[in-house]
């Protein structure tokens, strides 16, 4: 019963890895560096072991042989002076080996068995080794002069190679430097892609990003140059479309105005006159929808908008419409960054859409509720507007079709005239405001639209 939960937790735990190319590159480079370091350390350990054993054994044998020879061939009166000189100059001490000496085991070194075997082969099988005698630490080797036995003590520093702690320290230092280098290289490699992603996100919000720098590798130069050209082309298309639609507005609405005047002046039956006037008004509304859909929103015009006051005013105005019943529940003092005219158009468009398609079953009017709250979302705290009606709603498998331009679900929401741009205009404006739109069926019947906008400040 806990398997789905565990799977979800594992998926969430590694989501950061899948979501960022920087982390993928960084981890892959780190893994490659760690593998290379491990191989290098293993190779050094294998090839260094034999020479290090041989070198250490030769040092021990030489020290014992020379010291033993010097003691044998020196005059008895000079042996004390010789021992003092060995201590001061060579770091070698010679002690008498007694049966009651407290002898500690040989040094715990992986190379010690091989060193001991070579030394015993050269000096005799009776040679003993110790890491401390009578509580004094050192590297002790036994030897004989006639019937007497002695300890020769060497300083540990002369025999010790890199210990495990030292290997770990150096490996840690090299590893940290490698990780820093991997992070720098990953950042350097992914920086152009991050710029491209930010620029693409700005275009999605309806903004015009700054030109990407055309420098770096040939592939980056080509990609940035093509992207900059695309941005310029899109801006030109937007300008051309605005000019074309302005011309359409002038060229079509002028004849429509003349037709309206001629209908008023013509001696027509009342039913025919009303039908023609309705057709003319519908054509004028469709032209207005096209203009609203194509109209750009400049982020530079965004200001702090008192959303609570604006929605209250919209609710009062909508309540005056004969076939609307509006209820408002607004948190006071909620401010968002945006274009007040466009936000007002969005809410009015949703209300008009609900008025046309969301009439309460069995009634000749539409019930609408407008709710405003500040909630915590996946993008932080946001102002959330909920607008719902009490109509028949929309089939769940067709909700996504509502946001597509030139789409009307007449079979689900009743018959109405228009170009099918209502909710498409809403989504287009909200995208430019960095806001989210969620459409769902309301529990109890009707359609629910949730608008989540960034708070001002």
How far apart, in Å, are the Cα atoms of 395 and each of 11, 354, 367?
32, 16, 20
DSSP per residue over 206-248, as a string?
T--PPPPP--SSHHHHHHHHHHHHHHHHHHHHHHHHHHHHHHH
Q: What angle do CA 399, 400, 402 make, to 5 degrees?
A: 70
Whole-number pLDDT of residue 158: 56
Q: Which of 221-235, 296-310, 340-354 has the lowest mean pLDDT?
A: 296-310
Whole-number pLDDT of residue 422: 55
Per-residue pLDDT band for 306 (boundaries 50, 70, 90) equals very high
Answer yes or no: pTM beyond 0.75: no
Question: Cα dihedral sign for 8, 10, 16, 18?
Answer: negative
d(CA 171, CA 189) in angstroms, rounded, equals 26
- Which of 432, 184, 435 is CA-nearest to residue 300? 432
Per-residue pLDDT band for 412 (boundaries 50, 70, 90) equals very low
Q: pLDDT tens across 243-265, in order? A: 776 676 667 777 777 787 888 77
- Residue 316 reports pLDDT greater than 80: yes
Ranked by mean pLDDT, the top range of 56-60, 91-95, 381-385 is: 381-385
Q: How many residues make up the chain in this entry? A: 457
Average pLDDT over residues 186-197: 79
SS3 360: coil
- Residue 403 reports pLDDT greater than 70: no
Q: Which residues pair with 387 in a beta bridge?
A: 370, 449
- Residue 330 reports pLDDT greater than 90: yes
Whole-number pLDDT of residue 75: 64
d(CA 391, CA 258) in angstroms, rounded, equals 38
Average pLDDT over residues 15-38: 68
SS3 99: coil
CA 261 to chain centroid, in Å, comes to: 61
Per-residue pLDDT band for 388 (boundaries 50, 70, 90) equals very high
- Residue 415 reports pLDDT greater than 50: no
SS3 305: strand
d(CA 116, CA 137) in angstroms, rounded, equals 18
452, 381 in Cβ contact below 8 A?
no
Question: Cα dihedral sign for 94, 99, 100, 104?
Answer: positive
Whole-number pLDDT of residue 111: 77
In the chain, pLDDT over 90 holds for what percent of residues?
9
In the chain, pLDDT over 70 holds for what percent of residues?
74
């Amino acid at each position: 019963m806990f398997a789905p939960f565990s799977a979800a937790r594992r998926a969430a735990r590694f989501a950061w890895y899948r979501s960022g190319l920087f982390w993928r590159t960084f981890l892959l480079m780190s893994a490659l560096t760690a593998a290379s370091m491990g191989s290098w350390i293993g190779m050094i350990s294998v090839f260094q072991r034999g020479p290090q054993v041989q070198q250490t054994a030769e040092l021990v044998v030489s020290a014992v042989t020379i010291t033993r020879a010097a003691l044998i061939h020196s005059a008895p009166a000079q042996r004390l002076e010789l021992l003092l000189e060995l201590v001061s100059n060579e770091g070698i001490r010679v002690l008498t080996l007694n049966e009651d000496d407290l002898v500690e085991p040989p040094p715990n070194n992986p190379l010690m068995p091989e060193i001991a075997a070579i030394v015993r082969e050269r000096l005799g099988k009776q040679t003993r080794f110790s890491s401390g005698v009578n509580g004094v630490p050192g590297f002790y080797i036994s030897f004989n002069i006639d019937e007497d036995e002695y300890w020769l003590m060497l300083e540990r520093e002369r025999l010790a190679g890199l210990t495990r702690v030292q290997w770990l320290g150096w490996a840690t230092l090299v590893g940290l430097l490698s990780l820093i280098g991997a992070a720098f290289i990953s950042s350097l490699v992914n920086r152009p892609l991050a710029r491209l992603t930010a620029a693409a996100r700005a275009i999605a919000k309806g903004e015009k990003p700054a030109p990407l720098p055309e420098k770096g590798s040939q592939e980056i130069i080509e990609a940035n140059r093509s992207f900059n050209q695309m941005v310029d082309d899109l801006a030109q298309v937007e300008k051309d479309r605005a000019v074309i639609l302005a011309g359409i507005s002038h060229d079509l609405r002028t004849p429509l105005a003349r037709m309206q005047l001629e209908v008023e002046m013509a001696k027509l039956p009342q039913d025919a006159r009303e039908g023609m006037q309705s057709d003319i008004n519908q054509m004028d509304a469709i032209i207005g929808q096209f203009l609203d859909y194509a109209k750009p929103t400049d982020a530079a015009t965004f200001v702090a908008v008192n959303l609570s006051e604006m929605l209250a005013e919209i609710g009062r105005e909508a309540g005056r419409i004969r076939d609307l019943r509006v209820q408002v529940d607004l948190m006071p003092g909620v401010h968002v960054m945006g274009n007040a005219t466009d936000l007002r158009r969005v809410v009015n468009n949703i209300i008009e859409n609900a008025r046309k398609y969301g009439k309460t079953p069995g009634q000749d009017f539409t019930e609408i509720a407008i709710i405003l709250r500040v909630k915590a979302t996946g993008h932080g705290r946001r102002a959330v507007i909920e607008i719902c009606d009490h109509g028949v709603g929309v089939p769940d498998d067709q909700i996504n079709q509502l946001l597509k331009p030139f789409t009307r679900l007449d079979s689900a929401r009743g018959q109405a005239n228009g170009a099918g741009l209502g909710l498409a205009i809403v989504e287009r404006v909200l995208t430019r405001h960095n806001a989210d739109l969620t459409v769902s069926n309301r529990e109890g019947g009707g359609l629910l639209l949730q608008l989540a906008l960034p708070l001002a400040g």
